[in-house]
């Protein structure tokens, strides 16, 4: 499960030109990547603050503020990508953050 290629599809605004994707070698790397996007946004918005903190509800609000967010995860057994929605990404992000906190 850990080495399942994952593509994150994201649209930051209602404009079709804001569509983008990012691909990762695993689900956990994808969740780290999404958290990193949020952290970079926080740093851009608060350049004078050295240590920025946030909680899971802040991260979820960021996810909900995107026009679209989904994932495609490669399933080796069927040799195809399976789609997952924003709610799944929230669950996987929380699981990933809990693992990192241990």
CATH code, domain with 60: 3.30.2260.10
Q: Can you give the pTM of this predicted structure?
A: 0.88
Residue 77 half-sphere exposure, CB side, CA atoms within 13 Å?
Answer: 2
pLDDT confidence bin for 15, thresholds 50/70/90: very high
Which domain does 62 fall in, by range? 6-95
pLDDT value, residue 100: 82
pLDDT confidence bin for 14, thresholds 50/70/90: very high
Residue 100 lies in a domain: no
Q: How far are the Cα atoms of 7, 45, 48, 69, 102 from residue 21, in angstroms, in the given order?
A: 7, 22, 30, 10, 30
Residue 32 lies in a domain: yes
Residue 65 half-sphere exposure, CB side, CA atoms within 13 Å?
Answer: 8
- Say how far residue 86 (Cα) sits from the centre of its chain: 9
When divided into structural domains, the chain yields a total of 1
Instruction: Give 53 or 67, the one with higher predicted confidence.
Output: 67
């Amino acid at each position: 499960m850990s080495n399942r290629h994952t593509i994150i599809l994201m649209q930051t605004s209602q404009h079709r030109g804001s569509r983008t994707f990012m691909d990762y070698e695993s689900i956990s790397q994808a969740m780290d990547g999404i958290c990193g996007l949020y952290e970079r946004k926080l740093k851009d918005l608060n350049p004078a603050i050295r240590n920025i903190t946030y909680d899971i509800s802040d991260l979820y609000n960021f996810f909900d503020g995107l026009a679209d967010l989904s994932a495609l995860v490669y399933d080796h057994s069927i040799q195809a990508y399976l789609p997952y929605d924003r709610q799944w990404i929230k669950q996987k992000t929380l699981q990933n953050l809990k693992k990192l906190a241990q």
